[in-house]
Amino acid sequence: MRKPAHPALRLYVWLVMAFMALPMVVVIGASFNSGEAIVFPPQGLTLHWYGEAWRNADMVRSGLNSLVLAISATAISILLGVPAALALVRHVTRHREALQAFLLSPMTVPAIVLGIAFLVFFGWTGMGLSFTTLLISHVIITLPYVIRSVAGVYLGVSASIEEAAKVLGASPWRLFTRITLPLIMPGVVAGGLFSFIMSFDNVPVSIFLTRRETLTLPVYVMSYLVHSFDPTIAAVSAIQVLFTTIVILVIEKFYGIRRLTETI
């Protein structure tokens, strides 16, 4: 049984959470403002700016680009990161630390440095700027989150479980799908969630690699703010918050956030 936290500590945690949530409350409230500028509290309540966001074809297209890009980068990161994490934990014996440091290095390099490096590299190789090059760059920056999450969970899995399955005649594929994968699933879900968020909200890398056809939502929002400061941006931000909340609620419903945090 865990000892209940001190009331002062609980109050402090609630105050910190309220402080962190306050900007979202301001943005969501401003999205319903009937005026022409982003103000809080709103001067009146209206859904006009949500309609403006929906009627903005460039904004909708950039939102779809961000969604497709984030899903694709997350899927590829899981496909590449899970085997890499399993190999690092169980099979790599020589130079493990160096290989791990190399695979996790995108997390330590400033994002703007990575963006410039990608731009120079793709220009030097003649690959140019396209959705493919943007996807490659996003996979590189999201892959470490999958590797780190899966490896952290896999370290806590006893090797004797897999050895027992091998002794009982399980094939490598059956061993992975029936034994290993269910045990590391908390790391896969957590790594995938981090990867999706990092890709969907990325600005420092995307701003160097996007064109008009591949413009992502965060980059479009930045360019929009240069010329206008109406509540349309607040409405888009509110939609992003709602979307993220729905994703978290779905994971909580079918998997459980508490289980994720207790396992990792």
Residues 250, 259 contacting (CB under 8 angstroms): no
Query: How high is the mean pLDDT in each 10-residue block of the chain (264 residues)?
Result: 71 87 83 78 81 85 91 94 88 78 86 89 85 92 91 83 81 84 86 88 88 86 80 84 79 61 48
Tokens of 24: 């979202």
| Confidence (pLDDT) at 256 | 59
Task: Give the type of residue at 129.
Answer: L
What's the CATH code, domain 58-227+239-263? 1.10.3720.10
Residue 157, SS3 per DSSP: coil
**Residue 42 parent element (H or E):** none
Residue 45, SS3 per DSSP: strand
Handedness of CA 192, 21, 206, 104 (dihedral sign): negative
Beta bridge partners of 33: 45
List, as one string, the DSSP characters of 185-235: HHHHHHHHHHHHHHHHT--TTHHHH--STT--HHHHHHHHHHH--STHHHH
Give tens-digit pLDDT for 215-231.
888 888 888 877 777 78
Give tens-digit pLDDT for 51-63.
888 888 888 898 8
Residues 197, 142 contacting (CB under 8 angstroms): no
Q: What is the pTM of this model?
A: 0.82
